[in-house]
């Protein structure tokens, strides 16, 4: 580690321990940096969780392949496209096609879905389906994929190996580098408070996001799922949940021009206000759930996920009201990266 990097890490650790007036100052600064670099628009990216089939066995995930208490489903291509068509009328300018990591829904099938959405709507398309070979990423890009979301979850290789028996951190990072080489807008991020995480790990997570020069960074608190091996392992910051927001604010300071969503997990930990607080402390993206209501209970990566009984229209209306209450406005246009190295 270079002296500069060590200095940065020391600075991050101090910010992650901020209390009282120092904490208030951190939040104000993060919000000011967000406003300066990203403006007051909140970009809406509707998530369609089109399949919960997964062949991986990650120790913390509610849809892991070993969980026999999950009713598996896969939406049809026509269903996915039909739901995507509804997003623009709700102010949502991106569709996020998300699923478990599984060959159940074929790569060519997904390519057809991407082509149809790009042809039939004005939406930007983000895909989030896990590790794939570079040639598949390249194929999806030719179909019209704008962005790819693949969280690295932790920068600690040993902790990653323990939590993810099906791949390594190096493999995950290589996927991110392959996407960058293809000129795809790249999103990644991490969970906060995984069992075995140290505060130094959290600082390294933030620095890794900066090093990867990400276009979007999604983070959120780890929440134990009872049907997993970590079901009884609490978040390491359970007694200091403010760490979740400290991490978000510091992330914004070190990644001033990245899109940062107020993720659903914040609402799970802080019901009805978590995402609002995130938007005041550095976030600038909201990702409403557009998954058909009949499937939502079967796509719970963690328990207590909000809005599982609301249809997509209700979620969209609620989101717009929340943004307006903050004095912010929905983003116009696709909300592409603002990185200078990219084409808008």
Average pLDDT value over all residues in the chain = 96
- Dist. CA 3–CA 74, nearest whole Å: 50
* Residue position matching structure tokens 């914004």: 252
Residue 312 has pLDDT above 90, yes or no: no
For 80-109, what is each residue's pLDDT tens digit?
999 999 999 999 999 999 999 998 899 999
Q: What phi, psi does 187 have (nearest 5°)? A: -120, 145
Contact 283, 39 (CB under 8 A): no
Domain ranges in the chain? 3-330
Q: Tell me the two tokens of residue 81.
A: 């496209």
For 264-290, what is each residue's pLDDT tens digit?
999 999 998 999 999 999 999 999 999
Find the helix or strand (DSSP H, E) in which 109 lies: helix 107-120
Contact 272, 265 (CB under 8 A): no
**3-state SS assignment for residue 253:** helix
Q: Tell me the two tokens of residue 93.
A: 């300018």
Residue 343 has pLDDT above 80, yes or no: no
For 210-249, what is each residue's pLDDT tens digit?
999 999 999 999 999 999 999 999 999 999 999 999 999 9
For position 14, what pLDDT does the model report? Answer: 98
Other CB atoms within 10 A of residue 277 CB: 17
For position 341, what pLDDT does the model report? Answer: 60
| Of residues 192, 238, 197, 195, the one with CA closest to residue 217 | 192
**3-state SS assignment for residue 48:** strand
- Dist. CA 145–CA 172, nearest whole Å: 19
Decide: pTM greater than 0.85. yes
User: What residues does 75 pair with on adjacent strands?
Assistant: none
Give percent above pLDDT 70 in the chain. Answer: 98
CATH of 3-330, one of 1.10.287.110, 3.20.20.70, 3.40.120.10, 3.40.50.300: 3.20.20.70
For 4-61, what is each residue's pLDDT tens digit?
999 999 999 999 999 999 999 999 999 999 999 999 999 999 999 999 999 999 999 9
């Amino acid at each position: 580690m270079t002296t500069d990097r060590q200095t940065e890490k020391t600075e991050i650790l101090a910010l992650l321990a901020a209390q009282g007036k120092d904490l208030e100052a951190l939040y104000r600064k993060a919000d000011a940096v967000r406003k300066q670099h990203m403006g007051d628009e909140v970009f809406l990216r509707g998530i369609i969780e089109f399949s919960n089939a997964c062949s991986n066995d990650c120790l913390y995930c509610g849809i892991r392949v070993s969980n026999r208490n999950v009713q598996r489903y896969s939406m049809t291509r026509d269903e996915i496209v039909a739901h995507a068509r509804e997003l623009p009328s709700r102010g949502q300018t991106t569709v996020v096609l998300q699923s478990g990591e599984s060959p159940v829904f074929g790569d060519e099938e997904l390519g057809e879905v991407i082509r149809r959405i790009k042809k039939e709507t004005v939406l930007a398309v983000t895909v989030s389906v896990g590790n794939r070979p570079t040639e598949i990423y390249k194929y999806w890009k030719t179909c019209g994929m704008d962005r790819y979301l693949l969280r690295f979850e932790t920068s600690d290789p040993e902790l990653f190996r323990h939590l993810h028996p099906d791949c390594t951190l190096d493999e995950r990072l290589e996927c991110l580098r392959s996407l960058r080489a293809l000129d795809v807008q790249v999103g990644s991020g991490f969970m906060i408070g995984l069992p075995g995480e140290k505060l130094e790990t959290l600082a390294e997570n933030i620095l890794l996001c900066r090093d990867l020069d990400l276009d979007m960074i999604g983070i959120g608190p780890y929440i134990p799922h009872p049907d997993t091996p970590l079901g009884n392992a609490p978040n390491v910051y359970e007694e200091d949940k403010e760490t979740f927001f400290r991490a978000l604010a510091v992330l914004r300071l070190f990644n001033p021009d990245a899109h940062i969503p107020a993720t659903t997990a914040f609402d799970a930990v802080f019901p009805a206000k978590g995402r609002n607080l995130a938007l005041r402390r550095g976030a600038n993206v909201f990702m409403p759930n557009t998954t058909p209501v009949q499937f939502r209970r079967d796509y719970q990566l963690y328990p207590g996920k909000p809005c599982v009984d609301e249809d997509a229209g209700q979620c969209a209306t609620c989101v717009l009201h929340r943004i307006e209450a903050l004095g912010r406005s929905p983003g116009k246009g696709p909300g592409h990266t603002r990185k200078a190295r990219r084409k808008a």
